[in-house]
Structure 1
Amino acid sequence: MPPVSLVRAASLDGTVPYAYAAVTAPGSLVFTAGACPLDEAGDVVAVGDVAGQAAVVMANLEVALAAAGAGLDDVAKSTVYVASSRREDLVAAWDVVRAAFGDHDAPSTLLGVAALGFPDQLVEVEAVAALPPA
């Protein structure tokens, strides 16, 4: 196995110019790209709806983690980006992200940013996870 193995999730949009996750040798850590609120066609969904986009982002993050052999309970650290300077928007996104993680309250950073990569994108979440023992 090479030092870094890039993971592509077949059920997520294949037109994005990056891998959805990476596993490091000997395969214990998974680094995800920022999960975006994209549907299977690569279109941003829930335009204007922070909570709606956060829900899709978390579903897409779960798919990317699963493709690498991990799940939300394996996440060691996450970063939540919200394209807003309004605290209410940050809290709306965080409430959805936190609910998706359930009792697994791994460290996380919540940031308001000026813009994200796709038009109309309001939320993005990236994560580092540890693969469960084989």
Structure 2
Amino acid sequence: MSAVRLVRSEALAAAPYAFASRVDAGAELIFLAGACPLADDGSTVAVGDVAGQAQRCVETMLVALDAAGAALADVASTRVLVASSDRRDLVAAWDVVRAAFGDHDVPSTLMGVAVLGYEDQLVEIEAVAAVRRG
């Protein structure tokens, strides 16, 4: 069972994610670096394709979570960065991330930014997870 509890409130506007999450006492926090849309050789994948890059970011995030001894259900929050000022691009990335998380709809921030670190990079996903040890 995950150490993360999603928090909802009927006093707030309906949203496709929880407004907050709580982490059980004694859980270990895991802070992931931004998952990037990179191939194994370090090149950027799906150049020009926001949804394709978001999918690769999710795949990368899953590998990083596994390496840290966590899973998607252990994620307490995310931040999705999209190098675009076009809301359609942000929604395209969000749709991929939202589908990956399914019922574990963690609190998330979706932001359009001017530029990301790798050449041709359009999407990056940061995450914080929590796991029980022992």
Give the TM-score normalised by structure 2.
0.79
Displacement after TM superposition at 1:131 (Å)? 1.2
TM-superposed CA distance for 1:132, in Å, is 3.6
Q: Which runs of 5 or more structure 2 residues have no equivalent in the other structure?
A: 1-25
For 1:132 and 1:104, the matched residues in 2 are separated by 17
- Tell me the SS of whatever aligns to 2:47: coil
Larger radius of gyration: 2
Task: Find the counterpart in structure 2 of residue 36 from structure 1.
Answer: 36
Any idea what SS the aligned residue of 1:54 has?
helix
Quick one: distance in 2 between partners of 1:109 and 1:71? 20
- Residue in 2 that maps onto 1:101: 101
Aligned residues: 109
| Residue matched to 1:4 | none
1:83 matched to 2:86: no
Q: Identify the residue that residue 10 of structure 1 maps to in structure 2.
A: none
Q: Which portions of structure 1, spanning 4 or more consecutive aligned residues, are displaced by more than 6 angstroms?
A: none
Note if contact 1:70-1:132 (Cα within 8 Å) is conserved in structure 2: no
2: distance between equivalents of 1:115 and 1:91? 17
Residues 76, 107 of structure 1: 8 Å contact kept: yes
RCO (CA 8 Å, sep 6+): is it higher in 1 or 2? 2
Question: Which structure 1 segments of 5+ residues have no match?
Answer: 1-25
The secondary structure found in structure 1 opposite 2:31 is strand
User: Partner residue of 1:9?
Assistant: none
Whole-angstrom CA distance in 2 between matches of 1:128 and 1:87? 25
Task: Report the alpha carbon displacement of residue 133 of structure 1 after superposing the two structures with TM.
Answer: 4.2
- The aligned counterpart of 1:118 is 118
